[in-house]
């Protein structure tokens, strides 16, 4: 019996219906996808074949809950494809992608189904629907029209072809980036090459070498390895080699993404054109807070113009410092910047990563982050060793509310590995909803790439990594505290330029003395972080604020450039395109032979196409919203309860602008972010 058991084809017997990760095998995925698609199609057919007139229950609500098995296998497979992949998983993804696209078209281009949806939509004003049901009806109708339901037969066939190709290309893009990242490592066996590297970075390099069966030290393009190497390595040539490897990932060579980038951009433009939009950006922005290209371009340029002088001043200061301390070049190159910026910070603020890391042992940070949720929202986290996980490094917690009610399972996967893509993100293995009168609470996950323990040294976070942890945990809280009936309206299923508010607001606590005092202890002797060190962290909070903001704005501008074109010639040169798009924004020299786009996963294999600006958009919201916490107290339970009630629990049941006003009592202050970053008008 064990050989025929497929954990995706039955309800899990584990507590809360937790995924049976210990029983899932790779050979289970394909049969489960096929069964899930067959089941979902039968449910769609039942809706279209229903002889009763279309109404909210038998059409809109029935459609919302279609595909339970397909959701179960998809939510696990595609999350593990990012967090713990291999060649077999990639091959399965390539095989199921056309199947999933075909099913998607079976739904979105189904004329009989659309007729029923349209019939309900056209009588919406007479239905007296509750707010969330009206929102679901409007979203469902809009989703059909934005997915080709109103196209003619020939256009539908073309649309389906485009979507299938897009799906495969996005998979290939991500695969190429991962393989290009893993293909490079810097192997050092001369102690002189380690000059400048602090002990923890040497320990990390030694452990990485041991994992590869090598003597000496190994440094990779994974962020926990790459970033400290670039900040501390005194050998300029080695920094240049690392930088060039990082900045040419999937640009040329075996894993080149150049043609894929061009084709993805063109396919998105073509699909938008079929649907009646001038550009993909016009299509994507229609249902976001920004609404239009004009608004996004105005927003980005409105931040860039006053920020550039600050960034240029910061570069000038660091360049002058570098020259005073032995730098002989004409200007700082990108592989010089992190190194000299770190040295300048040490001098200006008496602060560096090595000084701070002992106070941020991962286990202590985990406890502190979870206790913050308890202090603000009354949540409790109990680690469950009895529930299976997909990798030995993953922790799982049972989350309960202040009244003991089960809210979620929370999975945390902290360490880098060759099977995991870079970066940090939040996702879910199951969303929250009420199905057949029974509530299903969510399974929420965060994935990061923090430094692994090395020898006798535990996993130690930089202050920046603590901030990243809080950011992703903010997304997790958005999922954990979701409330509602319909899965497409709950948790993080909100407008892309609103979804970053709950995450980015959490970053603020990383700079609050009262919070840091509560947990930051030197792992070697248990001593509390000195107040003067916290003062230096706060003083350095806006260090390089101008440079960092320009860098983020460049990403947003480049994203909009790719998705605002009315044609994408096959002959387009990726590097030349980037240079043209970013003309007038550079504060460091452009390096020939490098590219951003070919490894820009957020927009070419993630969900941020024509949406990368949303990080800055949400920063404006959070900078303004956190002022209420500052005014009332950073642990004020009434403020937290209001944020939970009006933002975290509401999902997409109301327009995000309304939700924000419900919390703040007004619209956001446009200049809140510039004030927070200390980037007010420069005095001449």
Active-site residue numbers?
472
3-state secondary structure of 395: strand
Report the candidate in 80, 270, 75, 89 with the shortest Cα–Cα distance to residue 164.
270
Query: How far apart are alpha carbons 601 and 257 in whole angstroms?
Result: 11
Handedness of CA 567, 570, 573, 574 (dihedral sign): positive
DSSP H/E element including 497: none
Phi–psi pair at 337, nearest 5 degrees: -65, -50
Cβ count near 15 (within 10 Å): 12
Q: Which of 509, 445, 535, 552 is nearest to 640 (CA)?
A: 509
Sign of CA dihedral 351, 352, 356, 358: negative
d(CA 308, CA 552): 12
Helix (H, G, I), strand (E, B) or coil at 549: helix
Distance CA 500, CA 267 (A): 27
Contacts of 384 (CB under 8 A, 6+ apart): 15, 396, 397, 398, 409
Distance CA 336, CA 239 (A): 7
By CB neighbour count within 10 A (0-12 exposed, 13-18 middle, 19+ buried), where does 107 fall?
Answer: buried
3-state class (DSSP) for residue 400: strand
Q: How far is CA 75 from CA 56, 479, 630, in A?
A: 27, 14, 38
Q: Is 557:273 a contact under the CB 8 Å cutoff? A: no
Q: How would you classify the pairing of strands 443-447 and 406-413?
A: parallel
**Nearest of 293, 160, 296 to residue 566 by alpha carbon:** 293
The DSSP call for residue 644 is: I
Q: Any idea what the Cα angle at residue 558 is, between residues 585 and 563, rounded to 5°?
A: 145
- Angstrom distance (rounded) from CA 364 to CA 23: 32
Give, in order, the Cα–Cα distances in Å from 481 to each of 6, 63, 431: 31, 24, 11
Reduced DSSP (H G I as helix, E B as strand, rest coil) percent helix, strand, coil of the chain, to 5 = 60, 5, 35
Selection from 225, 343, 268 nearest residue 603 by Cα: 268
User: Phi, psi at residue 408, to the nearest 5°?
Assistant: -170, 165
* 165-178: b (≥16 Cβ within 10 Å) or e: bbbbbbbbbbbbbb
Tell me if 444 sits within 8 A of 410, measured CB to CB.
yes
Contacts of 3 (CB under 8 A, 6+ apart): none
């Amino acid at each position: 019996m064990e050989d025929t058991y497929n954990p995706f084809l039955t309800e899990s017997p584990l507590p809360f219906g937790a995924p049976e990760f210990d029983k899932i095998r790779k050979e289970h995925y394909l049969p489960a996808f096929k069964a899930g698609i067959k089941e979902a199609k039968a449910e769609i057919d039942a809706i279209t074949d229903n002889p009763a007139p279309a109404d909210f229950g038998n059409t809109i609500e029935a459609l919302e809950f279609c595909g339970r098995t397909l959701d179960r296998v998809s939510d696990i497979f595609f999350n593990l494809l990012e967090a713990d992949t291999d060649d077999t998983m990639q091959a399965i993804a390539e095989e199921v992608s056309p199947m999933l696209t075909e099913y998607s078209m079976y739904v979105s281009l189904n004329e009989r189904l659309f007729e029923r949806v349209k019939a309900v939509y056209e009588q919406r004003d007479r239905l007296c629907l509750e707010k969330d049901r009206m929102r679901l009806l409007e979203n469902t109708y809009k989703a059909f029209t934005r997915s080709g339901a109103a196209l003619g037969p020939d256009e539908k066939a073309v649309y389906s072809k485009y979507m299938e190709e897009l799906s495969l290309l996005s998979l290939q893009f991500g695969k190429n980036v991962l393989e290009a990242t893993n293909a490079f490592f810097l192997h050092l066996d001369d102690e002189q090459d380690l000059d400048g590297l602090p002990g923890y970075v040497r320990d990390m390099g030694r452990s990485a070498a041991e994992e590869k069966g090598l003597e000496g030290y190994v440094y990779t393009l994974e962020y926990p390895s790459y970033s400290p190497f670039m900040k501390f390595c005194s050998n300029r040539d080695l920094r240049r080699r690392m930088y060039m490897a990082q900045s040419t990932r999937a640009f040329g060579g075996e894993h080149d993404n150049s043609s894929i980038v061009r084709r993805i951009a063109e396919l998105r433009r073509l699909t938008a054109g079929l649907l009646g939009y001038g550009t993909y950006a016009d299509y994507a922005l229609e249902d976001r807070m920004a609404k239009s290209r004009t608004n996004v371009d105005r927003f980005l340029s409105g931040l860039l113009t006053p920020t550039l002088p600050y960034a240029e001043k910061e570069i000038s200061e660091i360049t002058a410092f570098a020259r005073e301390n032995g730098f002989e070049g004409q200007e700082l190159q990108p592989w010089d910047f992190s190194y000299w910026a770190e040295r300048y910070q040490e001098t200006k603020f008496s602060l560096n990563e090595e000084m701070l890391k002992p106070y941020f042992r991962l286990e202590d940070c985990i406890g502190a982050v979870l206790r913050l949720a308890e202090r603000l929202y009354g949540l409790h986290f109990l680690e469950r060793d009895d529930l299976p996980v997909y990798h030995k490094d993953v922790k799982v917690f049972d989350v309960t509310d202040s009244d003991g009610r089960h809210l979620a399972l929370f999975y945390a996967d902290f360490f880098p590995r060759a099977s995991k893509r870079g970066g940090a993100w939040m996702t879910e293995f199951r969303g929250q909803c009420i199905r057949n009168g029974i509530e299903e609470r969510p399974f929420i996950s965060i994935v990061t790439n923090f430094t692994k323990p090395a020898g006798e040294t535990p996993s130690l976070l930089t202050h920046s990594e603590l901030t990243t942890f809080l950011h992703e945990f903010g997304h997790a809280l958005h999922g954990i505290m979701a409330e509602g009936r319909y899965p497409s309206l709950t948790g993080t299923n909100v407008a892309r330029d609103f979804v970053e508010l709950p995450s980015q607001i959490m970053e603020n606590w990383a700079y609050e003395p009262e919070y840091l005092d509560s947990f930051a202890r030197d792992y070697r002797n248990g001593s509390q972080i000195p107040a003067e060190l916290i003062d230096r962290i706060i003083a350095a909070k806006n260090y390089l604020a101008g440079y960092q903001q320009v860098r983020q704005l460049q990403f947003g501008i480049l994203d909009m450039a790719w998705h605002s074109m009315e044609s994408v010639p096959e002959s387009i040169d990726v590097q030349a395109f980037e240079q043209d798009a970013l003309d007038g924004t550079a504060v460091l020299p452009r390096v020939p032979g490098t590219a951003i786009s070919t490894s820009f996963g957020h927009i070419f294999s993630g969900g941020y196409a024509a949406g990368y600006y949303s990080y800055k958009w949400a920063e404006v919201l959070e900078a303004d919203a956190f002022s209420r916490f500052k005014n009332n107290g950073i642990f004020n339970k009434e403020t937290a309860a209001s944020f939970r009630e009006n933002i975290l629990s509401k999902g997409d049941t109301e327009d995000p602008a309304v939700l924000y006003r419900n919390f703040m009592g007004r619209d956001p202050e446009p200049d809140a972010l510039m004030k927070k970053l200390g980037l007010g008008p420069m005095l001449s």
